[in-house]
Every structure is written in structure tokens, then in C-alpha cells.
Amino acid sequence: MKKNSSLGRALKFIGRYKLLMAISAFFAIGIVALTLIVPILIGDSIDLIIGKDNVDIGKIVKLLITAGAVVLLTSVLQWLMSAINNKITYNVVRDMRNAAFQKLERVPISYIDTNAKGDIVSRIISDVDIFADGLLLGFTQLFTGVLTIIGTLVFMLIIDWKIALVVVILTPLSLFIAKFIGTRTHSMFAERQKTNGEATAHINESLSEQKVIIAFSHEDESQKKYDEINDRLKSSSLKAIFFSSLVNPTTRFVNNVVYAAVALAGAFTAVATAGAATPFTVGTLTCLLSYTNQYTKPFNEISGVLTEFQNALAAASRMFELIDKEPEIADSESALDIGEAKGEVTLSDVSFSYTKDKKLIEDLSLNVRDGQRIAIVGPTGCGKTTVINLLMRFYDVDKGSISVDGCDIRSMTRRSLRKNYGMVLQETWLSAGTVRENIAMGKPNATDEEIIAAAKASHAHGFIKRLKDGYDTVIGEGGGSLSLGQKQLICIARIMLSLPPMLILDEATSSIDTRTEIKIQEAFRTMMKGRTSFIVAHRLSTIKNADVILVMKDGKIIEQGNHSELLKRGGFYSELYNSQFAKI
């Protein structure tokens, strides 16, 4: 996405707070003007302090009281402005995160499948923060900075245009120097970044597999490699840190030179105009010196703000990529609510692939009568979940159609389609909440009796009762302390409670202890009675008893039929089946 357009999109989010922005800008102008008046008042007072018996205390007191009032007013405005800016910033951040999260719930599953989770999370969390820091805080800094520069310049020009000119000409020097050092150090930082990346990669790899390193006594080799990278990291860090830290002292030096130049010019003017009608006084000089300090400061800040701006825009465009993502094709106006389906599923000439260049399912046809069992078999990673993705309409077919009870699933609402399926996957997922809430997920108004009955039917009641707070035990995010088998039993109870007419079940391969596994199988069996079931099967008994077996390999369905038909065919399935019993 173009940076400009992401700036435009960002402005739309900020636009909601137009009025606040205007007030904030107005305050900023007031603050800058007031801050500039204070040195004049102070300077005027100093001018009245000329020497022994030559001090106009009465006038000084008046000036100082005015100064005090101005200072108070400035502080109040400062506080109000930052309160307003905070409000704008945090509200914009909140709005953006809400928009991003809402989109996350609406994007096609393929977006979640194909993007790294850490990446999506960082778009919603850290990118929004970078944006807020860079653009919003940066903007206020830039705005007041520019105002201060302009204001100081105008005041200096009014007071003495020649000295003002000295300041205007010399100050950009510090900008040049900062830029000069910046471009020189850029490559050093890049080098350091690269070395740091190498070091992190090595650390990541070794420490996350430290046990393998121990098992193969590979500690010394790994250390040698690390030390080599670490040494390079040390020298590249030193260079980068040292050279970049030159910016501050050198700009400070330039500012000191400007300061000295103003003092010189001012002192000369003061001497020359002594006794004139409008003398250049010591007060004027102090005032100018204090302006010089104020004038140079924002310059140093602005160059920093500009880089942050770039980062902020980059972060914003990453975030808008998510916010602007096309949502799933909406259910059409005429989409049906099919209510409780009978459970007939027909796939006719279905073709599907995740990417255009890699064909997966082609011309798959399958007729499932209600109550039938379909076993999907094949080696791990062969794409069994693809079929589930299509049935649940997480993905749409490319060609052909899938219908339930004779009705194309694209002409019904997703909600009503998905309500008709009960899904228990191997990667169990529980939300943070109580056991009860998790079981009642599909039927929030279920009574306690119904919940307990469902838990009993799925053999989960026993272990739930033994938990610390029984059904009210809070399970942490992702299931926390429960074992995988227990989590799966809760997931089964969840389905058992609403018991939809069609089931998608994933048999466990490895993660569950034998006893629990037997319970799960019994629970599955209870559930499947009279229901159309699609089972990702690993157990021979399940496979043999299926009405139709879909044999998958490399993402494709290569064979279809029941156990004896497939054995007779002598294809991949029979090879799989026989290898189970092969003697070593």
C-alpha cells in the first residue's frame, strides 16, 4: 500500500476528533506565544536593574506580576493541551485496534492460515503503538516545534533583525551535522542489525534445542560459533553506538557557537547604541540569548521526529493492510436459514486449491446419506483438513458445489450451516473462562443439568468433578493446566450438549493417554449414532466400519470406496493397510 494512502486512511481515524484537534492547535499557538512573552518581561525587568540606587522596584514588581500571571496561564494551557492530546491519541489507538480486531473476525480463514500469527498480532498491538507514538505524539511535537521556531524568529526579527540573521544562518549547521553523522552511521547500524540478527538466530536455534546439543555433546562447537558472532557484534555495536552518540555533543557545540555569536553581536550592538533613543540593553541581550536556546532546540527534535514519522507511516500501512482486508464474501440477502438439517451431504465435481499453481482436489464427487460415516485417511500432512475447510465453508470451492439436504451451502447463511456441524479437532481449543462456560459455548442458555448430562455422556464429568472448583474451575488461555486428553473431552462435551446433525471428528494420533483415549472413542461412538459423521481416522476399527473411505495423499483424494472395495483394488490404501501388519 502506498504511504500516502495510508496517511489518508489514518487521517480518517483522526478526523473523528476534529474539534479536539482544533482546540489543541489553538492552545499550542497560545502556549508558544505566551512562552515567548516571558523572556521579554524578564529582560525588561533586568533592564531596570542597572546599578546601585538605580533600580525601579515599583516597575519591576509590576512586570514580575505580569510574568507570573503569564506563567500560570501557560501552565494551565500546557496541561489542558496534553490532556486533549492524550485523549485524541488513546482514542484513535482504541478505534484502530477495535477496527483491526473486528476485521480479524471477518477475514477469510485463509488469511489466518497463510499469515504468521505473530505477524498479525504485531499489526494489532505494536504497529498501532508505533503509529501512535510516531504520528500523533510526533505530530504534536512537530507542530509546537515549528510554531516555536516561527514565533522565536518573528520575535527576534522584531527585537534586532541583524542578530536574528546570525541565528538563522548558523543554526541549520547543526541540522547538517546531524544529517551528516546520520547517513554515515546508517551503514554501521545496518551492519550491527545484521550481526545482531545472526546472533539471535544462533541463540534461538541453540537454546530452543539445548537438549539435543547436550545429547550430542555439541556445547563447545556451538560456543565457538557464538563467540565468533558475538565478537563481531561487539565491535559493530561499539562503532554504531559511538558514532551515533556524536550527534548530541556536536549539535550542542554548534548551539554553543551560535550562543557565543549572539553574545558577541549583542554586546557590540549594546555598546554601540548605549545612550541612543532606543538602546540595545542587557535585558534585550538576555532575552535574545534565551530565544536562541529556544530556537535551536526544536531543530534537534524535528530531525528525530521525521524518522519516527517514516516508521509510523510504515506501521500504519501494515495495520491498514489488515483493516482493509476483504472480509469473507457476505451471505447474500436471500441466504437461507436451513434450521436443523437432515444430514445429507453431496459434493459434486468439486475442485479446490489453496494456490492457483498447485492443484489439490479435482472433480471430487461424493454422496453422503444421512447417518453415514465417512473416514478420511492418509499420512500426516496429506491435507485432510482441506476437506473439513470446505465442508464448514471456511474456504469456498473453486468449481462444482457442496450441498446439504440438496441445498447449495453458498445459498444458506454460514451461521446456519456451521450450527449444523459439531466439530472436534485434534488441536483442541478452549477459551479462557470456566469449564462450564466452555461446555456451554454452543448453547449459552443450557441449564446445569444439561451441561452435567453432556459431560457425563462424554466421560468428562469424572475428572471435572475432581478439579479444584469443579465446573467453575477457571481454565487459562489455551486450556492451561489441563492435559490434552482432558481438553479434548471438554471439547466433546461441548458438542454433546448441542448435538448437531452432522459431525466432524478428528481422531487423536499421539497426544492422549490410553485410558482417556478409550473414553474419547466411546464418546465418539455415542455421538455418531444416527448422525452424518466425517472422521479424520487413524484407527483401523474406525476405518473398517466407515461407509465410505476417502484416501488422501499429498492433498489429493486418490481413492474412494469402502474397506473391502479398496483392498481389492490393491492401491495405496491396501499398501497402507498391509504395512500396519508388516513384520520388522
Partner 1 sequence: MKKLLKFIKGYKKESVLGPLFKLLEAALELIVPLVIAALIDKGIGSSDHGYIVRSCLILVALGAIGLAFSVTAQYFAAKASCGFSAAMRSSLFSHIGTLSYTELDTIGSSTLITRITADSNQVQTGINLTLRLLLRSPFVVFGAMIMAFTVDVQSAITFAVVIPVLSIVVFGIMLITMPLYKKVSRGVDSILSKTRENLDGARVIRAFCKEDEEISEFRERNDALTAMQKFVGKISSLMNPLTYIIINLAIIALIYSGAIRVELGELTQGEVVALYNYMSQILVELIKLANLIITITKSAAAANRISAVFETESSMKYGDEKFTGLKDGISFNDVSLCYKNAAETSLSDISFEAKRGETIGVIGGTGSGKTSLINLIPRFYDATKGEITVDGKPISSFDKESIRSRIGVVPQKAALFEGSIRENMLWGKADATDEEINRALAIAQADKVVMDKGGLDAHIEEGGRNLSGGQRQRLTIARALVRNPDILILDDSASALDYATDAALRSAIAESTKESLVFIVSQRASSVMHADKIIVLDDGKAIGIGTHGELLAACPLYKEIYDTQFGEVV
Among 29, 263, 453, 499, binds partner 1 (CB under 8 A): 263
User: Is the CB of 125 or the CB of 306 nearer to partner 1?
Assistant: 125
Say if residues 294 and 148 touch (Cβ distance below 8 Å). yes
Among 61, 165, 169, 474, binds partner 1 (CB under 8 A): 61
The contacts of residue 563 (CB under 8 Å, 6+ apart) are: 543, 544, 546, 549
Site stretch for partner 1 (CB under 8 A), options 15-23, 165-173, 413-421, 462-470: 413-421
Q: Give the strands of the sheet with 361-368, arranged side by side.
A: 361-368, 345-352, 399-404, 407-408
Say if residues 126 and 7 touch (Cβ distance below 8 Å). no
DSSP letters of 22-91? HHHHHHHHHHHHHHHHHHHHHHHHHHHB-STT-B-HHHHHHHHHHHHHHHHHHHHHHHHHHHHHHHHHHH
Distance, in Å, from the CA atom of 61 to the CA atom of 396, rounded to the nearest integer, reads 81
CA atoms within 13 A on the CB side of 234: 6
553 three-state secondary structure: strand
Shortest spacing between CB 449 and partner 1, in angstroms: 21
Helix axes 247-273, 282-323, angle to 10 degrees: 150
State the cell numbers at 321.
493492510
Shortest spacing between CB 450 and partner 1, in angstroms: 16
User: DSSP 3-state helix, strand, coil percentages of the chain (rounded to 5)?
Assistant: 65, 10, 25
Distance, in Å, from the CA atom of 498 to the CA atom of 64, rounded to the nearest integer, reads 79
Shortest spacing between CB 419 and partner 1, in angstroms: 7
User: Is the CB of 201 or the CB of 365 nearer to partner 1?
Assistant: 201
User: Is the CB of 106 or the CB of 399 nearer to partner 1?
Assistant: 106
Chain residues 156-215 in contact with partner 1, contact rule CB under 8 A? 199-215
State the cell numbers at 429.
481449543
User: Is the CB of 101 or the CB of 180 nearer to partner 1?
Assistant: 101
Shortest spacing between CB 265 and partner 1, in angstroms: 9
Shortest spacing between CB 129 and partner 1, in angstroms: 8
Site stretch for partner 1 (CB under 8 A), options 219-227, 310-318, 336-344, 555-563: 219-227
- Residue 64 in contact with partner 1, rule: CB under 8 A: yes
Site stretch for partner 1 (CB under 8 A), options 78-86, 182-190, 305-313, 560-568: 78-86
Q: Give the strands of the sheet with 421-424, arranged side by side.
A: 421-424, 502-506, 532-536, 373-377, 548-553, 556-561
DSSP letters of 250-310? HHHHHHHHHHHHHHHHHHHHHHHHTTSSS---HHHHHHHHHHHHHHHHHHHHHHHHHHHHH
Among 1, 11, 22, 83, binds partner 1 (CB under 8 A): 83
Distance, in Å, from the CA atom of 123 to the CA atom of 96, rounded to the nearest integer, reads 11
- Residue 268 in contact with partner 1, rule: CB under 8 A: yes
CA atoms within 13 A on the CB side of 230: 8
Chain residues 277-296 in contact with partner 1, contact rule CB under 8 A? 282, 285-286, 289-290, 293
Among 20, 23, 33, 270, binds partner 1 (CB under 8 A): 270
Paired sense of beta strands 532-536 and 373-377, if any: parallel
Helix axes 514-528, 484-498, angle to 10 degrees: 10
Among 23, 60, 146, 453, binds partner 1 (CB under 8 A): 60
User: Is the CB of 2 or the CB of 224 nearer to partner 1?
Assistant: 224
Number of residues engaging partner 1 in binding (CB under 8 A) = 152
Chain residues 322-361 in contact with partner 1, contact rule CB under 8 A? none
DSSP letters of 562-584? -HHHHHHHTSHHHHHHHHHH---
Map residues 482-521 to x or -, x wherever contact with partner 1 holds by CB under 8 A.
-xxx-----------------------xxxxxxxxxx--x
User: Is the CB of 9 or the CB of 418 nearer to partner 1?
Assistant: 418
Chain residues 25-54 in contact with partner 1, contact rule CB under 8 A? 38, 42, 45-46, 48-54
Among 1, 22, 238, 329, binds partner 1 (CB under 8 A): 238
User: Is the CB of 2 or the CB of 216 nearer to partner 1?
Assistant: 216
- Residue 241 in contact with partner 1, rule: CB under 8 A: yes
- Residue 581 in contact with partner 1, rule: CB under 8 A: yes
Shortest spacing between CB 3 and partner 1, in angstroms: 25
User: Is the CB of 320 or the CB of 394 nearer to partner 1?
Assistant: 394
Shortest spacing between CB 150 and partner 1, in angstroms: 21
DSSP letters of 360-399? -EEEEEEEE-TT-EEEEE-STTSSHHHHHHHHTTSS--SE
Map residues 356-395 to x or -, x wherever contact with partner 1 holds by CB under 8 A.
-----------------------xxx----------x-x-
Chain residues 422-481 in contact with partner 1, contact rule CB under 8 A? 423, 425, 429, 431-432, 441-442, 477-478
Shortest spacing between CB 466 and partner 1, in angstroms: 14
Site stretch for partner 1 (CB under 8 A), options 10-18, 251-259, 527-535, 555-563: 251-259
Distance, in Å, from the CA atom of 175 to the CA atom of 247, rounded to the nearest integer, reads 10
User: Is the CB of 4 or the CB of 82 nearer to partner 1?
Assistant: 82
564 to 262, 546, 549, 559, 567: CA distances (angstroms): 100, 11, 10, 13, 5
Chain residues 92-131 in contact with partner 1, contact rule CB under 8 A? 93-94, 97-98, 101-102, 104-106, 109, 112, 117, 120-121, 124-125
- Residue 75 in contact with partner 1, rule: CB under 8 A: yes
